[in-house]
Structure 1
Amino acid sequence: MMRKHTRLIGWVAAVLVIIAFCQLGRWQLQRMHEKQALLDQQVPARAQTLTLARAQAAPGQLRWVEDHGRFLPGTLLLDNQTREGRAGIKVYQPFRSDGGAVVLVDLGWLPMPGDRTLPAIVPREGTARVAGLLAPPPASGLALGPALTPATQPGVWLANRMPPAEVSAALGLPPDSLRSLVLRLDPALPGGYARDLELLPNTLPPSRHLGYAVQWFGLALTVLIVALILEWRRARPPR
């Protein structure tokens, strides 16, 4: 009776582990498809230029934008952003188009010194013509602690993630004025800091997600094989 009880517990544990590994594999495949779909949109997005308001209303995550408007006060520094292996921050400033649409503009990347002293930021002012890719913001890590903390420089906030409602409140913008997408400013335009149109900074490419998915499914198969071998050994008649 005890052996049957132990056997049942062993199979239940094995099945739970197999299900957990398969779920992790499915999640990695889902992330692979999401990121590949985002990359596949990049070339078609450059084929059509939209104003900011039309781009925000259009379906899809990637749109090429050209518009005129004014930079608004307030600066957001997104922490934990790497470039060429160096840690740093991304600089964002709100922009309102002449049509009334508001977006956070990615002005580029700055290195973060070892003592984590934030660099002095000179905000953009006045009217400007912007062009760039309307795209999702960079991936953030675990949602630990407050999303935004005020920096020593007035009007500047350090962020570890960018929830639109909290960013709007911090920058003094009307509620619901910001969307989740940001404007990746064209690197060919003057001003700003080091920047590019890389869609997957600080995160894994689709191929890496596929590799991890194969590993998780392989672990699930290994657990199943081990469980079957143990069951076969138990079922063998004693010599």
Structure 2
Amino acid sequence: MTRTRTLLFGWAMALAGIALFAALGSWQLGRQQQKQALLDAAARTLQQRDARPLAVAADPAAARDYDWAAGQGRYPDLPPVLLDNQQRGGRPGVRVYRVFVPDAGDPLLVDLGWLPLPPDRDMPPIAPSPADTHVRGLLAPPPSAGIAAAALQPQSDGTLLAIALDPAAIADALGLPALAPRVLRLDPDLPVGYARDLDVLPNTLPPERHLGYAVQWYGLALAVLVTALVLTFRRRRRHPNSTP
């Protein structure tokens, strides 16, 4: 009886481990598929570059979509928003955003590019708002915030430092009625701003990494199953006449 209970307990633990590892593998596989779909959608948009009006940035139904957009407007005299914990080429830095008010449509945040941070983390000097009245680029969801809160920290130079980009929270901090849910990733060919590109998955794992993790979790599930089978087979060989 004791051996049977031990065997049953061992299999219960093994099955629980297999279920957990398989669930984690499925989650990673789902993330891989989601991110690959994002990359594919952005690639199609960048290939076509069929410019839409900036007003489409305010459409809540398209908040997770990608569009190439262009239009006229102005940069109001508002503090820039610096998104912290942004890496480029392995170096830490911040991404600079400014509010842009199009001639038609809600105000939106424009990604002006990346600036490095020194070891002492003194905020880099930010140039005044661009004088350009024409912008173009990739309309995209804000960078993923993960579990970070969208708190804004005013800096001594008047800028706002954020660890997560929440347009609603930023609009409230700047005294604006609203900001479009999507941001404009400014075309790198425009001669304004800072170092930038149109990578839609910056500072996050690429799809192939998620696929690799999925394979590892599935491999662990298989290893637990094989181990449980081997231990059960050995037990039966050692105790061929055992009874409950």
**Shared fold by TM > 0.5?**
yes
Match of 2:135 among 130, 133, 137: 130
Secondary structure at 2:233's aligned position in 1? helix
Question: Does structure 2 retain, via aligned residues, the 8 Å contact 1:75–1:123?
Answer: no
Q: Distance in 1 between matches of 2:229 and 2:112?
A: 57
* 1:101 alignment counterpart: 106
* 1:211 alignment counterpart: 212
Q: Tell me which amino acid in the other structure corresponds to 1:41.
A: A
Question: Does structure 2 retain, via aligned residues, the 8 Å contact 1:139–1:201?
Answer: no
Per the TM alignment, residue 197 of structure 1 is displaced from its structure 2 partner at its CA by: 0.8
Per the TM alignment, residue 22 of structure 1 is displaced from its structure 2 partner at its CA by: 1.1
Q: Tell me which amino acid in the other structure corresponds to 2:117.
A: M
Per the TM alignment, residue 117 of structure 1 is displaced from its structure 2 partner at its CA by: 0.6
Q: Tell me which amino acid in the other structure corresponds to 1:52.
A: L
Question: Does structure 2 retain, via aligned residues, the 8 Å contact 1:66–1:129?
Answer: yes
Which of 157-166 and 186-195 deviates more?
A: 157-166
Q: Distance in 2 between matches of 1:104 and 1:67?
A: 14
Question: Does structure 2 retain, via aligned residues, the 8 Å contact 1:93–1:123?
Answer: no
* 1:51 alignment counterpart: 53
**Residue segments in structure 1 that go unaligned for 5+ positions in a row:** none
For residues 100 and 181 of structure 1, do their structure 2 counterparts lie closer, same or farther at Cα, with a shift above 3 Å needed? closer
Q: Distance in 2 between matches of 1:126 and 1:238?
A: 85
TM-score by length of 1: 0.90
Q: Distance in 2 between matches of 1:32 and 1:6?
A: 39
Q: Distance in 1 between matches of 2:234 and 2:223?
A: 17
* 2:4 alignment counterpart: 4
TM-score by length of 2: 0.88
Question: Does structure 2 retain, via aligned residues, the 8 Å contact 1:53–1:101?
Answer: yes
Count of residues in Structure 1 that have an aligned counterpart in Structure 2: 235
* 2:223 alignment counterpart: 222
Q: Distance in 2 between matches of 1:100 and 1:233?
A: 72
Per the TM alignment, residue 237 of structure 1 is displaced from its structure 2 partner at its CA by: 4.6
Q: Distance in 2 between matches of 1:4 and 1:152?
A: 70
Q: Distance in 1 between matches of 2:84 and 2:185?
A: 17
Question: Does structure 2 retain, via aligned residues, the 8 Å contact 1:147–1:160?
Answer: yes
Q: Distance in 1 between matches of 2:71 and 2:150?
A: 33
For residues 178 and 18 of structure 1, do their structure 2 counterparts lie closer, same or farther at Cα, with a shift above 3 Å needed? farther
Q: Tell me which amino acid in the other structure corresponds to 2:66.
A: L
Asked if 1:173 is matched to 2:173, the reply is no
Q: Distance in 1 between matches of 2:130 and 2:210?
A: 41
Q: Distance in 2 between matches of 1:33 and 1:189?
A: 32
Q: Distance in 1 between matches of 2:9 and 2:126?
A: 61
For residues 23 and 178 of structure 1, do their structure 2 counterparts lie closer, same or farther at Cα, with a shift above 3 Å needed? farther
Question: Does structure 2 retain, via aligned residues, the 8 Å contact 1:103–1:179?
Answer: yes
Alignment of structure 1 residues 1-239 onto 2, 5 Å: 1-46=1-46, 47=48, 48-57=50-59, 59=62, 61-72=65-76, 73-124=78-129, 128-143=133-148, 147-154=151-158, 156-174=159-177, 177-238=178-239
Q: Tell me which amino acid in the other structure corresponds to 2:133.
A: A
Question: Does structure 1 retain, via aligned residues, the 8 Å contact 2:130–2:192?
Answer: no
Identity rate, percent: 51
CA RMSD of aligned residues (A): 2.0
Per the TM alignment, residue 55 of structure 1 is displaced from its structure 2 partner at its CA by: 4.6
Q: Tell me which amino acid in the other structure corresponds to 1:91.
A: V
Q: Tell me which amino acid in the other structure corresponds to 2:164.
A: R
